[in-house]
Amino acid sequence: MLMKKYHIVVLLLLALLLSQFNVQDYILSMKNLTWDIWTTLIIMQLLSFILLLIQWKRISLALGKEVTFKQMVSVNMKGVFYETITPGLKVGGEVAKAVTLVNEMDFTSAQASALVVIQKCISISALIFLSVFSFVFLNFEIQLPKSAVVLIYFILVALLLLLFVILFIPEKLYNYLLKSKSTGKIVTKTKSFLEKYTVAFNRIKNNKKEIFFQFLLSLVVWALFPFKLYYIVSSLGWKLSFIRVFAVTIISYVAGMVPLLPGGLGSFEGTMVGLFLLWGINKEQGLVIATIFRFITFWLLFFISIVYLIGRKAHKSLKGALKGA
């Protein structure tokens, strides 16, 4: 009931934000984006997706499962679809990826869980690492309240510590839970998951070089997003330093992790528009920039995933029909 109320509040705030949307400004801004600009943005987004596939493929290999790029495309297309329609941290997408790995690629549940969790933990660790620098810069720019600064850094450090435990010493967490007297559903499920996870994780835990490489790769993937936003901002004629655009991008993604609406919808755009206001870009233009950026980095891939999944299903149906004929 409480979450439903949150959803209503966020939807109302989103409606208020969209009410400020000027269609004429949007059309005018779109005219400033030539086909060359759109092509460059799409290529940058494609590069992000390819790097993500490389990450998944390498972690799979480290866990003892060799997969093809075609198989990883299938996994991630399903993940993109389900994570777009689920709130915040995109848990639905991760579950869909794990199920696909088990059902279509002969992964054990332990291997699938390990792959999904390791990739997610490394990715979020890289995002939090970059967000620390972004919040430090933002604090220098606008002097955030000390209480807010302390709370933000406490949450970020706590998350990093948790991710460190999951990535490097999951058995410690598992042993702690085994000794725990708690028998709640969450604890029981966590124990069951960690038991399977640690078995598969043992194949990669000593390969620190690979984990470090994956962290660097995640940093590159996340760093590409500010470049995309900077390219959009510059193409629309706004003079904003890259470091400011970098902070806007990373902080907006952190805000989008809050599980309120599917895909971080509303919290992401609202944060981006609010930060743009600090640096002289009005809310109408900020919303234009945010929607263009989200289309390239979010909605475009979602629409492609729908076409891919429909096409894949149609191909299977046709193949089945031909076999039966």
Give the CA diameter of the chain.
72
User: Which DSSP string corresponds to 109-139?
Assistant: HHHHHHHHHHHHHHHHHHHHHHHHHHHHHHH
Taking the alpha carbons of 115, 72, 80, 156 in that order, is the dihedral positive or negative? positive
pLDDT digits (tens, 9 = 90+) for 136-145: 898 888 877 8
Q: What is the value of pTM for the model shown?
A: 0.82
**Greater pLDDT, 269 or 213:** 213
- DSSP at 183: -
**Greater pLDDT, 82 or 27:** 82
Rg for the chain, CA atoms, rounded: 21
| Cα–Cα dist 100/5, whole Å | 33
**Greater pLDDT, 93 or 1:** 93
3-state secondary structure of 262: strand
- Which amino acid is residue 239, in one-letter code? K
User: Which DSSP string corresponds to 97-115?
Assistant: HHHHHHHHH---HHHHHHH
What is the distance, to the nearest Å, from the Cα of residue 296 to the centroid of all Cα atoms in its chain?
Answer: 14
Confidence (pLDDT) at 219: 94
**Greater pLDDT, 230 or 211:** 230
**Greater pLDDT, 209 or 44:** 44
Given a contact cutoff of 8 angstroms between Cβ atoms, the answer to whether 117 and 197 are in contact is yes
3-state secondary structure of 229: helix
The separation between the first and the last C-alpha atoms of the chain, rounded to the nearest angstrom, is: 52
Confidence (pLDDT) at 230: 96
3-state secondary structure of 87: strand
Q: Token digits for 140?
A: 């220098």
Element (H, E) at 215: helix 208-235
What percent of the chain shows pLDDT beyond 90?
Answer: 19
**Greater pLDDT, 270 or 306:** 306
pLDDT digits (tens, 9 = 90+) for 278-317: 888 887 788 888 888 988 998 888 889 889 888 888 867 7
Token pair 């620390």: residue? 132
Tell me whether residue 286 is exposed, middle or buried, using C-beta atoms within 10 angstroms of its C-beta: 0 to 12, 13 to 18, 19 or more: buried
N residues, the chain: 325
23 has pLDDT over 50: yes
1 has pLDDT over 50: no
| Cα–Cα dist 120/42, whole Å | 24
pLDDT digits (tens, 9 = 90+) for 48-102: 999 999 999 999 988 888 888 888 888 888 888 877 766 544 556 777 888 888 8
pLDDT category of residue 6 using cuts at 50, 70 and 90? very low
